[in-house]
Amino acid sequence: MRIILDTDPGNGVPGADIDDALALALALRSPEIELEAITVVAGNVPVDRGVQSALETLEAADVTDVPVHRGAERPLVEDPAAWRAELDGRRAERTAQRLWQNLPFQPTRLTSHPTPAAQALVQRVNERPGEITVVAIGPLTNIATAMALDPGWAGKLARLVVMGGPSTCPMCCTS
């Protein structure tokens, strides 16, 4: 199964959720999954930190051939300031700081792909119409942008699988 994982990983960040990194690690180690690409969106952490988290997970898994594409840094419409402050504020919580103090940290040597996430989503699906499943486990801004770039894009997917739901902050937290 060919998959693109659209994600907002926060592994490596004190107080951030790690579920996306677990999903990525599972995909990397599942023989039935061919991970075509990772597209990153702002959510649990700012998008640049999410890109680093994805790259760090790939490096830890000794995988160097899966491209990571930087995506949307904010929602299309909503002002993210309030939930950005809430999520980023978790880093300063005493428990998170205590748990993370003195942990060794090595920055990744891997780098992201220059093609932006939404363009990558459109290009890869158009190269293999009907073959790629997109698994979206972050805010859906990259998906919405891909649909805006190519109105027929969704119809060329094998499937679109979304992990989402209601939340106190509608763009993140539960996805």
Question: Which parts of this chain interact with Ca ion (CB under 5 A)?
Answer: 8, 20, 137-138, 175
CB of 20 vs Ca ion, minimal distance in Å:
4
Nearer to Ca ion, 22 or 128 (CB): 22
CB of 137 vs Ca ion, minimal distance in Å:
4
CB of 151 vs Ca ion, minimal distance in Å:
26
Nearer to Ca ion, 66 or 150 (CB): 66
Nearer to Ca ion, 122 or 137 (CB): 137
Nearer to Ca ion, 37 or 150 (CB): 37
Cβ neighbours around 118 below 10 Å, total: 25
CB of 155 vs Ca ion, minimal distance in Å:
25
CB of 19 vs Ca ion, minimal distance in Å:
6
Report how far residue 16's alpha carbon sits from residue 107's, in angstroms, rounded to the nearest whole number. 17
Structure token digits, residue 73: 């840094």
Nearer to Ca ion, 42 or 137 (CB): 137
3-state secondary structure the chain: CEEEEEECCCCCCCCCCCHHHHHHHHHHCCCCCEEEEEEECCCCCCHHHHHHHHHHHHHHCCCCCCCEEECCCCCCCCCCHHHHHHHHHHHHCHHHHHHHCCCCCCCCCCCCECCCHHHHHHHHHHHCCCCEEEEECCCCHHHHHHHHHCCCCHHHCCEEEECCCCCCCCCCCCC
